[in-house]
Chains A and B, each alone.
Chain A
Amino acid sequence: MTRLFASREALLAGVIALLLVLIAFRFPGFVTPANLASVFNDTAPLIILALAQMIVILTRCIDLSVAANLALTGMVAAMLNGMGVPLALILCGVVMLGAAMGAVNGLLVWKLDIPPIVVTLGTMTIYRGIIFLISDGKWINAHQMSDGFKALPRIAFLGLPMMSWIAIAITLGFAVLVGRTALGRSFFAVGGNPHAAVYTGINVGRTQFAAFVIAGAMAGLTGYLWVARYAVAYVDIAGGFELDVVAACVIGGVSIAGGMGSVGGAVLGALFLGIMKNALPVVGISPFWQLAISGAAIIIAVAFNARQGRAPGRIILKEAA
């Protein structure tokens, strides 16, 4: 029990390795470095958003609007590009727009004390609806985007596309945020024991707000990456992606009750789903299985997490202590 948590990442890494070995047995082509790199690149958005979702869940909240946020900022990025706005400005713009949408969620949770699930269920549909309003329901296709806009995620550097490098950089950034900053540690404190957090002078609501803003900014950045990489923007991009994101967190050992989770776990959870998704067609299973598999994985993972998180009662007898 004591070492179980620390080894949660190791366990998951083991499962992933086993999965790869099993696939390699029949389809060696899947585990070539080039293919694994492409799987990783494919999973990059999921990794970024799983990390973003993790800090929100750490504070006992949940953000179901990340995918809608991504789709809206992606559409805005494509439209700004169409108006000839320089890429650097677009990048700043999407991060700020994403953060602003996160801030709306955060304010409703912090100042009005509305349950996060309700807030983000609502903003999820509102953000999607806004995409329709600004785009008139039309698609923005590859030929309507400038080459520079589409190229950034694909520029190769040391054999990996920029998309992958951005995911790696964000992972490192989150490792620092979560492990080395006062704000990062207060995410754990707020979720782990809100009552005690007050005693140590931490403002619970403001910390949750900060988590939503950071998550929103990450969704905004991912919005640009997504649209540029797939070279298309429309109302329904990344539909239902918020469930994959939550699934990656839960599989990665992030406790939905808050206060428990790690950067490594969230990344591995995302990689697990990414490998699963890419491997299914290779091994000849219909991609239609993917949804059911991630659903089953969420349920198994949440049951597993709950078993770990159960707190022992008060210990009164001396010999039992």
Chain B
Amino acid sequence: MTPSYRVIPDRLVSPFAKALKSWESLLLIVAVAIFIANALASPYFLNAWNLSDATFNFTEKAMIAFAMAMLIIAGEIDLSVAAIIALASTMMGVAMTMGFGTPVLVLVGLGTGLACGAFNGTIVARLGLPSIVVTIGTMSLFRGISYIILGDQAFTGYPADFAWFGQGYVVWVITVELVVFAALAVAFGVLLHRTSFGRQVYVIGNNPVAAQFSGVNVARVKFILFLLTGLMAGVAAVCLTSRLGSTRPSIATGYELEVVTMVVLGGVNILGGSGTIPGVVIAAFVMGLVTFGLGLLNVPGIVMSIFIGLLLIGVIALPRLWAMRRRRA
């Protein structure tokens, strides 16, 4: 072999240039455009307190979306997240009626989320069953347990200091939830983009067989991802329960759809393998702004769900239609 090796450059395109041309940049422009449109459409929009209120439209869902993004990048999905919120919230209610204080309530909420995630993870990762059906099953199971415990009743009367998580402010208009959201965004961004665990997630999503053939413990990574998703649903349950101040078994109904939509809108490939946390963060803002804007225009919630459904299909369909047209041209 000749000793004169040919030199291969590390990169031809700088990461910055790549980022400029990415889905995330496009989404950011969309977000800014919606922001401006909202500001023009409603005089109530550009008000710090109103905007602060609007963040509740997405913070809880986005917390789950970060973990869900990693799960979907790895080629799995968890449709039971809303049901986990319901069960975690119910368990907190149970703990509350037993007279426990706020610290225990939070631990119960997070613990329930973890346990549900471990349950999903065990069935999917260890037994190798398809996550779509399994989590459709656990979606009924977890919420079903809430119904068994609560029936048509509701837990109310959470301790006053418990309200801090969902109703408190850190400084000025910055809510506790927004801070939790921001902290989790950074944490998940680092986990996915800066650690070897995150790298393994991408590898599994692109080619699970090659991952196994390269010494990656695929089942373990997937299990941890389900655990994380369950934990985030637990965090969301704490925030949501605290914000609403009550628990009904129908709490957070339909959240799974909005979370998946947020993840897909954020540029995560639903078939796995690619996507970023910054994309999900921007998608969270876009969805929050759309919902808030439509709300200011008195559009009812169910009609907003049409937009969300169209958004979900549209963001996947449009690039494919575009590619088909280009191939024909």
Contact = CB atoms under 8 A, between A and B. Distances in A.
Decide if A and B touch, CB cutoff 8 A: yes
Interface of B: 77, 123, 127-130, 132-134, 136-145, 147-148, 150-152, 249, 254, 257, 260-261, 264, 270-271, 300, 302-303, 305-306, 308-310, 312-313, 316-317, 320-321, 324
A299 B138 contact: yes
A85 B140 CA distance: 39
Interface residues of A, number: 44
Given A129-B309, A302-B134, A303-B123, A295 B139 contact: yes
Given A126-B309, A288-B151, A246 B136 contact: yes
Given A113-B320, A118-B260, A122-B313, 19 more contacts: A115-B271, A119-B313, A123-B309, A123-B313, A125-B309, A126-B313, A129-B305, A129-B309, A132-B300, A137-B302, A246-B136, A288-B147, A291-B143, A292-B145, A295-B143, A299-B138, A302-B129, A302-B130, A303-B123
B144 A122 contact: no
Given A114-B317, A137-B300, A126 B310 contact: yes
Contacts of B303: 129, 132-133
Given A118-B316, A250-B133, A128 B302 contact: yes
> Binding site of B, secondary structure by majority: helix, strand, loop or mixed?
helix
22 contacts: A112-B320, A114-B313, A117-B132, A118-B316, A123-B313, A124-B257, A125-B305, A126-B305, A129-B305, A129-B309, A246-B136, A256-B130, A288-B151, A289-B144, A289-B147, A291-B143, A293-B144, A294-B144, A295-B139, A302-B130, A303-B123, A306-B127
Contacts of A196: none
Given A123-B309, A124-B309, A125-B309, A114 B316 contact: yes
B309 A243 contact: no
Interface of A: 62, 108, 112-115, 117-119, 121-126, 128-130, 132-133, 137, 235, 243, 246-247, 250, 256-257, 286, 288-299, 302-303, 306
Contacts of A291: 140-141, 143-144, 147
Contact of B137 (A108, A113, A298): A298
A241 B83 CA distance: 16
A121 B213 CA distance: 34
B85 to A, nearest CB: 15
Contacts of A294: 140, 144
Given A114-B317, A289-B144, A306-B128, A125 B134 contact: no
B134 A299 contact: yes
